[in-house]
Amino acid sequence: MSGLSEWFWQERLWFPEGLGWADLEDRDGRVYAKARDLWVALPIALVFLIVRQIFERSVHFFSLSCSVSAPFIDVFGYLLNHFFPLYFKHYLYFSVQSNVFFS
């Protein structure tokens, strides 16, 4: 397993000629990003997921259920599922045909 790891992290695969892993060490006032810096993204992502769940379960559901009646949702869903594929099939057919004749 260590041989696979050594092969994967070869300097010639990751750096241009003349550079290596030693060049990424902190020195001369330069501080480079470290892999541990990526851990900051995990709590932020967790907060976004929690906020999204709260929004979906309370605000969004409440506003949708109060402003739209159930029969309207059924009709709107039927229209979307029935007419949109027909429209786009027609539109794409003629757009492809026009590209054939005018290109």
**Whole-number pLDDT of residue 44:** 96
Total domains present in the chain: 1
**Whole-number pLDDT of residue 95:** 54
**Whole-number pLDDT of residue 90:** 65
**Whole-number pLDDT of residue 91:** 65
Residues of the chain with confidence (pLDDT) below 70: 60-77, 79, 90-103
**Whole-number pLDDT of residue 94:** 58
**Whole-number pLDDT of residue 103:** 46
Contact criterion met (CB below 8 Å) for 20 and 11: yes
User: Is residue 80 in a domain?
Assistant: yes
Gyration radius of the chain's alpha carbons: 28
Contact criterion met (CB below 8 Å) for 32 and 26: yes
**Which element (helix H / strand E) includes 86?**
helix 70-102
Among the listed residues 21, 24, 25, the one whose alpha carbon sits nearest the alpha carbon of residue 8: 21
Contact criterion met (CB below 8 Å) for 56 and 48: no
Parent domain of 83? 70-103
**Whole-number pLDDT of residue 84:** 73
User: Is residue 78 in a domain?
Assistant: yes
User: Is residue 96 in a domain?
Assistant: yes
User: Is residue 6 in a domain?
Assistant: no
pTM of the model: 0.38
25 contacts: CB under 8 Å, gap ≥ 6 = 32
User: Is residue 97 in a domain?
Assistant: yes
